[in-house]
């Protein structure tokens, strides 16, 4: 399980260097993680609570795939979708103690280093693409979308620092490099997710004064950065300007933006569609066939509504509600513990970022969704395991926990 983040990072950064009609690193990644996921489902997946719901949730989409016109295409995208979601019960099951969480945090830190090494090599040898402004900053074969994965890994900074005793400055430098790399992508979804995630994190820690102070510190740090690293800030400014009006949320941008147009397209199709389409959608994960278009839908919410109807749309949000309830079930006994206060704040940080990133499309991004769902599972699994090991509290809840202990 601990190898999954590393496998995903390698695949994300190398797949596009190979032809799609051969056994490339992306296909090999899907095969390895897919086989492990099947092994887990048939031999390890607990038949209880949220684990049962995740299995039923994926089963619902599997049935929709069977009724799709192009089952091979829909099935391929279903595999990408399911490899993300199934990481929640996997992380929940295997990361069931603070020590195991420490191991996962180390692996995620190493994964961030792999991404940064790839970015460094890409810029030295000019590999991949320099999105938005040619010949400025290269992101390798993973293109600029790799910055989404890097941002999620950077979010792990607070909990990493709780475990790090030595070389703290070096660790801080790595996370700072990761954050600056993510910002250099100039992707609106990443920029907004970073801001929204930071706000959610501080609100979850009930530190309103810290939020205000952080805004001031960020402003001052930005000024220092301008003078300390003039080449970096000049490059950032050039790329930002190259992005032009597409970074600004103007009325003209909304009118020309494909993601905005697809909202109206999907809602009109849903309103005028049959009862079956309203309820269960049509051509799950294959909206190109449904709309007879070369352009696929890019917004998670529209992909889900069009492909699985109002039932799938509600199940999507109900999954998040269950995640929150499962986390709260254990966190209410641990709110005075510094580690679990950090995990709770990071849980909300990731949730806020996921909701924003879904506007830009994450449904088929295996590494991104695997990271988020695995970390959520690991956080909750650690809370549950800690309570069981400490036998607190001793009431009916803990008796139930012990009876279902792994």
pLDDT digits (tens, 9 = 90+) for 213-230: 656 665 666 666 556 556
Q: Cα 348 to chain center, whole Å?
A: 13
Q: Which of 221, 106, 96, 212 is nearest to 159 (CA)?
A: 106
Rounded Cα distance between 32 and 273, Å, is 39
Phi, psi of 256 (to 5 degrees): -100, -10
* pLDDT for res 70: 95
**Cα atoms in the Cβ-side hemisphere of radius 13 Å centred on 288:** 9
End-to-end Cα, the chain, rounded Å = 17
Burial letters 47-74, b for 16+ CB under 10 A, else e: eeebbebbbebbeebeebbeebeeeebb
- pLDDT in the model for residue 252: 42
- Summarised one tens digit per residue, pLDDT across range 275-300 is 999 999 999 999 999 999 888 898 99
Phi (first) and psi of residue 34, to 5 degrees: -65, -45
Q: Which pTM does this prediction carry?
A: 0.90
Residue 380 C-beta-side C-alpha neighbours within 13 Å: 24
What residues of the chain score a pLDDT lower than 50? 245-256, 394, 405-406
- Model pLDDT, residue 32: 96
Q: What is the pLDDT of residue 245?
A: 47
Query: What is the pLDDT at residue 207?
Result: 61
Query: pLDDT at position 197, please?
Result: 93
Kindly report, residue by residue over 29-79, the tens digit of the pLDDT.
999 999 999 999 999 999 989 999 999 999 999 999 999 999 999 999 999
pLDDT at 307: 97
The span from the CA of 173 to the CA of 375, in Å, is: 22
Closest C-alpha to 136, from 227, 230, 232, 247: 232
Instruction: Spell 200-231 as b/e; 16+ CB within 10 A means b.
Output: bbbbbbeeeeeeeebeeeeeeeeeeeeeeeee
Cα dist. 39→66, 86, 223, 371, 377 in Å?
A: 22, 12, 52, 20, 18
Q: Are 92 and 378 in contact (CB under 8 A)?
A: yes
Give the model's pLDDT for residue 269: 96
């Amino acid at each position: 399980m601990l190898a999954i983040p590393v496998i995903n990072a390698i695949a994300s950064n190398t797949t596009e260097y190979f032809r799609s009609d051969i056994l490339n690193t992306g296909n090999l990644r899907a095969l390895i993680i897919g086989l492990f996921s099947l092994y887990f489902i048939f031999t390890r997946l607990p038949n209880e609570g949220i684990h049962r719901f995740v299995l039923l949730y994926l089963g619902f989409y599997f049935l929709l795939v069977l009724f799709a016109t192009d089952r091979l295409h829909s099935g391929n995208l279903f595999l990408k979708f399911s490899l993300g979601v199934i990481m929640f019960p996997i992380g929940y099951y295997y990361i069931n103690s603070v020590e195991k969480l420490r191991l996962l945090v180390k692996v995620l830190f190493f994964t961030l280093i792999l991404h940064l090494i790839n970015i460094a090599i890409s810029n030295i040898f000019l590999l991949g693409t320099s999105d938005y402004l040619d010949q400025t900053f290269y992101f390798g074969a993973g293109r600029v979308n790799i910055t989404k994965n890097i941002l999620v890994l950077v979010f792990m900074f607070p909990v990493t620092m709780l475990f790090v005793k030595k070389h703290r400055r070096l660790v801080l430098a790595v996370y700072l490099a990761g954050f600056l790399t993510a910002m250099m992508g100039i992707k609106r979804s990443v920029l907004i997710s970073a801001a929204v995630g930071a706000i959610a994190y501080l609100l979850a820690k009930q530190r309103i004064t810290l939020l205000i102070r952080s805004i001031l510190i960020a402003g001052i740090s930005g000024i220092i950065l301008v003078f300390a690293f003039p080449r970096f800030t000049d490059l950032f400014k050039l790329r930002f300007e190259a992005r032009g009006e597409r970074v600004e949320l103007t009325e003209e941008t909304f009118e020309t933006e494909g993601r905005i147009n697809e909202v109206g397209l999907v809602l009109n199709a849903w309103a005028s569609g049959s009862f079956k389409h309203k309820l269960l959608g049509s051509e799950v994960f294959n909206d190109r066939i449904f709309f007879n278009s070369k352009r696929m839908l890019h917004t998670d919410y529209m992909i889900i509504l069009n492909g699985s109807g109002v039932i799938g749309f509600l199940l999507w949000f109900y999954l998040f509600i269950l995640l929150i309830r499962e986390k709260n079930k254990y966190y209410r006994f641990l709110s005075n513990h510094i580690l679990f206060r950090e995990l709770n704040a990071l849980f909300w940080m990731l949730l806020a970022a996921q909701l924003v990133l879904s506007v830009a499309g994450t449904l088929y991004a295996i590494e991104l969704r695997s990271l988020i769902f695995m970390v959520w599972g690991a956080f909750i699994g650690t809370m549950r395991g800690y309570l069981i090991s400490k036998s607190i509290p001793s009431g009916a809840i803990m008796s139930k926990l012990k009876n279902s202990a792994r």
